[in-house]
Structure 1
Amino acid sequence: MQLMMIVVVLAATVAVAVTKFITASNASKEAFKTVNLLKTLTVNTLIYGERGTGKKTLAKYIVPNASVIDASSFEELLTAIESSNEIIITNIDSSPNIQRVFQAIKNKKIRVIATCASTNIGEMYDDIFSVKLDLPPLSKRMEDVEALIDIYLEEIKEIVRDDVKFNKSNFIPDVSDNSISLKKQIFSYSFLENITVNELMHLIENYLEDKIGTNNDYRNNLYLYEVPLIRAGLKKFKSQLQLADKLGLNRNTLRKKISENSEYGL
């Protein structure tokens, strides 16, 4: 007899970083208890949510020895189902023939942990998955985001050096793409916070190498120096008048430069 459908909707759940579950919030701690319960049950589970919320890592935690196959690799997936006792299927909603996949699962009676991005799934999923887990975006788990930041910073220190500077007071986490955007932002932010003069010049040199070759290159690329200088000055001095004085420029000259570079947010 098929198990009654269990829908577990988590207000906030486990944030995942590489191989760790983050349980900084009370809701995540409760969710982790549910996940540990699933490790002891031989039921099929569907984990859905936006990308970067930790669906695949959560699935691997439940069945650590299972093969991981993306549903878009149709023939590979069918072969894996026939030769395995348990399997992780990622992006199952992207399968080119979901009916055949489900039939193969039923025939083999294999245990499946699957992930998908959409919550708008058909009733056919109910016949396969007894448990559903909804992973909310990181924007609803800001306590977990703080813990993730610390984990990513530790990664950076291992790759670069232990004395990497990172000013959290001016840092606004980008969780628009969940852990994907957050990790990218932290690595970029750390690089910019710790960049040396020579590294900065080398970066600009590489950028300009393929963009120069005309008689107006010097003038056309001055904005690369002027825009960040004016931005930094306005942020520091809060006044065009004071900035013009500090830069040794006529106020009208500064206004002209700001106007010429308005497309860059000045």
Structure 2
Amino acid sequence: MRRSLMLFFELYNNTVKYLLDALIKVLNQFSIIEELNEELESIFLNSYDGISIVNNKGITIRVNPAMERLTGVKKEEVIGKDMRQLVKDGVFNDSVSLQVLETKKATTIIQKSRTGKQTIMTGTPIMDQDGRIKNVVINIRDITELYNLKEQLERTRELTSHYQWEINELRLQVIKQNDIVAESKEMHDILDLALRVAKVDSSVLLLGESGVGKEVLAKIIHKSSSRFQLGSYIKINSGAIPANLLESELFGYEEGAFTGARKKGKPGMFQLATGGTLFLDEIGELPLELQVKLLRVIQERELIPLGGVKSVKVDVRIIAATNKNLKKMMEEGKFREDLYYRLNVVSIEIPPLRKRKEDIPALISHFLNEINHKYNFRKQFTAEALKQLISYNWPGNVRQLANIVERSLITSKEEWICKEELSEEFTEGKARQFDFDDIIPLNKAVELVEKTLINKAMEKYKTTYEVAKVLNVSQATIARKAKKYRDYEHQREK
């Protein structure tokens, strides 16, 4: 009997404990649900968008404060009211909830309330387990914001159009003032970029083959900047001055700095350009030891003249130009990486003339007018001559084109210049493209190609040893052939 009682009490205690644990779990679940309800209620009440809930009978059961703000209709006017009656009474001009109840699909409309406010309303059906609509949840947004965004977008488009018009006008002014010929989109884009760059003092690196017009663009940037009124445009060609003189030309020197120095010394290009623009042409030719000094001047904005002890402040805008591949030179250790990034804040690459054929006819016309006016000529090219000029690849770019046009006008006896009368240099230039219009003896063709390659290499490299190495022949061969073609040219000139 006693044992039975003990078993009963043990079973009773376990049952009570189980029930208590289950009750605690249920209470915890209720607590979580209550927290979620509070969170959802907070979201509902504080949502920036209006929210309205309509049941499956079309009766509004809940609205949040944002709904009142957006529509101008008080909640007392809609809660517990049938949307059909509200539309009939003119509170709203339409009801998205009634459309959702009819179509059973999410729907969006623009709704206007009697206060005159317009809103975008999106109704979404909430289904029960049987697939029937239980409620319709309506999201309400102010259409005024969309109208404001639309107006802002239209204003932005108008401003963009206006700015583009101003850029075009500036470009036309620059073209007119600087006597520039630019018909191609590539050159228009380059001029637009140059005008934008002119407004700031950042360093500019101009890239492109010889003769494309890098110096012309440098002058445009200077003339279009505030520095045009404050200082000079000074140019120095890094490849045209011997290395031992280049330092004193750039940075100047003090009295007694070296044998033959002026008594009072001499200011360098940096000092002469103070307040203005310094154009460093052929920057790829600058010796490495001077690259270090140039970098310091650009960074510190001060220099110490050769033979001097005191630093001199300088304020210049740097524009550099080269026809060389500076990235490759950096890899080969011939150009400093830090100087490259100092100069290349903004880079502008001018395409060769062969890649902007649209500019060639306009350039020919420009040079024709210029030279006819200069020499009081009235000469023109025939259609065939023009066709040949336009189709040519122009390895020397604009500079070569100007030279060919001037030479053709001067040497031609007739007012109409036919293709046979084009400058001989131009005719020989066809050999550079290995495109012969007529059959010529093979040895003559070989000579033309050989002469072209040797002349091109001699222009690029300093010694016949370097030329021989590039062309893979002996130095004696280069010297002999160079003399042969030079003597041939002298005989023709006589």
Match of 2:399 in 1: 180
TM-aligned CA deviation for residue 167 of structure 1: 1.5
Residue by residue, what CA displacement relative to the aligned partner does 1:44-80 show, whole Å, maximum 9, x if unpaired?
0000111100001100110134211122442212222
2:196 corresponds to 1:37: yes
Separation in 2 of the partners of 1:95 and 1:87?
A: 15
**In structure 2, which of residues 404, 408, 411 is the aligned counterpart of residue 189 of structure 1?**
408
Separation in 2 of the partners of 1:18 and 1:149?
A: 19
Match of 1:120 in 2: 326
TM-aligned CA deviation for residue 20 of structure 1: 2.6
Equivalent AA in structure 2 for residue 187 of structure 1: E
Gaps (5+ residues) in structure 1? 1-15, 197-234, 236-257
- For these two proteins, the number of residue pairs brought into alignment is 188
2:377 corresponds to 1:158: no
Gaps (5+ residues) in structure 2? 1-174, 224-231, 252-267, 302-314, 331-336, 416-437, 448-494
The structure with the largest alpha-carbon Rg is 2
Separation in 2 of the partners of 1:138 and 1:17?
A: 21
**In structure 2, which of residues 348, 352, 358 is the aligned counterpart of residue 143 of structure 1?**
358
TM-aligned CA deviation for residue 263 of structure 1: 5.0
Output aligned runs, 1:75-114, within 5 Å: 75-78=248-251, 79-83=268-272, 84-85=274-275, 86-96=277-287, 97-108=290-301, 110-114=316-320
Task: Label 1:117 to 1:263 Cα distance change in 2 as closer, same or farther (>3 A).
Answer: closer
Task: Label 1:182 to 1:157 Cα distance change in 2 as closer, same or farther (>3 A).
Answer: same
Which 4+ stretches in 1 moved above 4 angstroms? 262-265
Task: Label 1:119 to 1:22 Cα distance change in 2 as closer, same or farther (>3 A).
Answer: farther
Instruction: Identify the range of structure 1 (179-188 vs 47-56) with the bigger mean alpha-carbon deviation.
Output: 179-188
2:270 corresponds to 1:66: no
Separation in 1 of the partners of 2:384 and 2:176?
A: 22
- Per the normalisation by structure 1, the TM-score is 0.62
Instruction: Identify the range of structure 1 (65-74 vs 138-147) with the bigger mean alpha-carbon deviation.
Output: 65-74
Separation in 2 of the partners of 1:49 and 1:194?
A: 36
TM-aligned CA deviation for residue 131 of structure 1: 0.3
Separation in 1 of the partners of 2:413 and 2:369?
A: 15
Separation in 1 of the partners of 2:325 and 2:349?
A: 8
2:407 corresponds to 1:170: no
Task: Label 1:93 to 1:145 Cα distance change in 2 as closer, same or farther (>3 A).
Answer: same
TM-aligned CA deviation for residue 128 of structure 1: 3.3
Task: Label 1:55 to 1:17 Cα distance change in 2 as closer, same or farther (>3 A).
Answer: farther
Matched residue SS, 2:210:
coil
Question: Alignment identity in percent?
Answer: 21
Output aligned runs, 1:241-256, within 5 Å: none
Instruction: Identify the range of structure 1 (187-196 vs 171-180) with the bigger mean alpha-carbon deviation.
Output: 187-196
Is the 8 Å Cα contact of residues 166 and 193 (structure 1) preserved in structure 2? no
Tell me which of the two structures has the higher relative contact order, counting C-alpha pairs closer than 8 angstroms and 6 or more residues apart.
Answer: 1
RMSD of aligned alpha carbons: 3.0
Task: Label 1:146 to 1:17 Cα distance change in 2 as closer, same or farther (>3 A).
Answer: farther
Residue by residue, what CA displacement relative to the aligned partner does 1:70-119 show, whole Å, maximum 9, x if unpaired?
22442212222245233111111111222222222222163201111113
Separation in 1 of the partners of 2:444 and 2:343?
A: 53
Is the 8 Å Cα contact of residues 67 and 87 (structure 1) preserved in structure 2? yes
Is the 8 Å Cα contact of residues 67 and 88 (structure 1) preserved in structure 2? yes
Equivalent AA in structure 1 for residue 270 of structure 2: I
Task: Label 1:177 to 1:36 Cα distance change in 2 as closer, same or farther (>3 A).
Answer: same
Separation in 1 of the partners of 2:176 and 2:212?
A: 10
